[in-house]
Amino acid sequence: MTSQTTSLPLTASNPAPQATRQLRNFIGGEHVDGVRTFDKLNPVDGSLIAEVHESGRHEVDRAVAAARAALDGPWGRMTTGERATILRRIADTIERRFDDLVAAEVGDTGKPETLARDLDVARAAANFRAFADVVSAAGLDSFLTELPDGRRALNYAVRKPLGVVAVIVPWNLPLLLLTWKLAPALAGGNTVVVKPSEETPSSATLLAEILLEAGLPAGVVNVVHGFGEDSAGEFLTTHPGIDGVTFTGESSTGSAIMRAVAPRVRPVSFELGGKNAAVVFADADLDTAIAGLARSTYLNTGQVCLCTERIYVERAIFDDVAAGLAEQAARLRLGRPEDPATTTGPLISQAHRAKVLSYLDLAQQEGATLLAGGGIPSLGPGLDGGSWIEPTLWTGLDNSHRTVREEVFGPVAALIPFDTEEEAIALANDTDYGLAAVTWTRDLSRGHRVAQRMRVGMSWVNTWYLRDLRSPFGGVGLSGIGREGGHHSLEFYTEPTNVCVQL
């Protein structure tokens, strides 16, 4: 049923009211109760943040119906220019509510406030502006056709929305990745049902309110909370009213979604897991490379799909890189997110920490030599209830070991030596994943050569996580299907229709 009182808004000045905050579903412009509630805990100290209302089948049905009605209503009749104007207004409203969104992200994830400000929320606004520009400039093919029999025709293509799109986003960069999908979906004229991770429900709920405040019609974006199997995720991906699914998360979940949509032959766009490699040649600028490796390994506590977990180092500089990166790991400051000195937050949950710790135990069983970390830090009684883990680095393993082949998704990396360029490329490509890679070298020709041979969707040279939002984003193998970014996103979120007019 619809709640008679709306959810208490999360604000920077009042992040945690005395009464337990209720995070309800957002359907057709209203906050809606779920079939039951579940607790959302703060990963910093284990305290209760909110009670979240889980959607059942009825709530998902209602959300899909609201999205369909909005698609058939005024939203579906808006011009591209009118939609672009609303996207820019959404970006402006995000910036007005900047501190509130920071509070939501920090509360759910425990990441440092500085990271949430500089990356997550800043990118959320940028995503809407970027796709407003992309859709305003986008065009499609047109041909003047002349046939041998003398007939002439004009063929041109027009874009139509894919329809009602299910957007399922993960917990590591919840607002950034939600807006990365939501902005192009709206730019293309679609309506959306969002299922955020059960671990990070706050920013999606707040963003739904912000969208309404910015003038987006009710029902264009709806939010349903819950889990995967026998919950909102399953009910959404198997719903006959969904025209496509976009998902970022674990590869195994992507496989389950493919099975769910297969009977209805719905399109999917997946950005999945990674076991990303970095290759460091002896001619690299070592200070720059080591600083870059520290960032690509430990940013967001290693909980970024693009993070580096395998580091291949030319043997002549192996000891120097190992010592330098271990020193960088030891310098990281774990602490409360509001402390400006904090560089590294906790893992998202106790359950995820248990998974990461199991890989650290496995690495040592496999014969790894720890250079840094490897356990749970002691941070004092105010923080020890959180999901903390030490930034970790090890040597002594190779590509035959499970910890070098399976995604850990934590602040961990294995250092492995190589002797030749061909060996480095072969080692980096020896994986079932294929999301991202980094090459560190002063030799520009080698940088181009090696980067192009990496079997990945994104290949950096002498940098990491530097992107133009118009460039293709995605992976191969277990790392996903399709590409996002610029017109590549529009290729998923819109359907081209060819019109042929005989002249």
Interatomic CA distance for residues 198 and 169, integer angstroms:
10
Strands (E), 249-293: 268-271, 276-280
Helices 174-187 and 98-109: angle between axes, nearest 10 degrees: 130
Written as six digits, the tokens of 147 are 């046939």
- Report the C-alpha gap between 291 and 119 in whole angstroms: 18
DSSP characters for 176-243?
HHHHHHHHHHHHTT-EEEEE--TT--HHHHHHHHHHHHTTPPTTSEEE----STTSHHHHHHT-TT--
**pTM over the 0.85 mark:** yes
For the domain covering 21-272+479-502, report its CATH number. Answer: 3.40.605.10
Torsion sign over Cα 223, 38, 359, 464: positive
pLDDT of residue 20: 87
Residue range 377-404, pLDDT digits in tens: 999 988 999 999 999 999 999 999 999 9
Terminal Cα-to-Cα distance of the chain (whole angstroms): 57
Ranges of the chain whose pLDDT falls below 70: 1-18
**What pLDDT score was predicted for residue 18?**
58
Domain ranges of the chain: 21-272+479-502, 276-467
Characterize the bridge pairing of strands 392-395 and 412-418.
Answer: parallel
The token pair at 17 is 């009211």
Catalytic residue numbers, as ranges: 271, 305
Helix (H, G, I), strand (E, B) or coil at 337: coil
Residue 231, judged by CB atoms within 10 A of its CB (0-12, 13-18, 19+), counts as buried
Q: Cα angle at 184 between 120 and 133, to 5 degrees?
A: 90
Distances (CA, A) of 70 to 34, 75, 178, 179, 235: 22, 6, 20, 19, 20
Fold designation for 276-467: Aldehyde Dehydrogenase; Chain A, domain 2 (3.40.309)
The two tokens of residue 332 are 């990281």
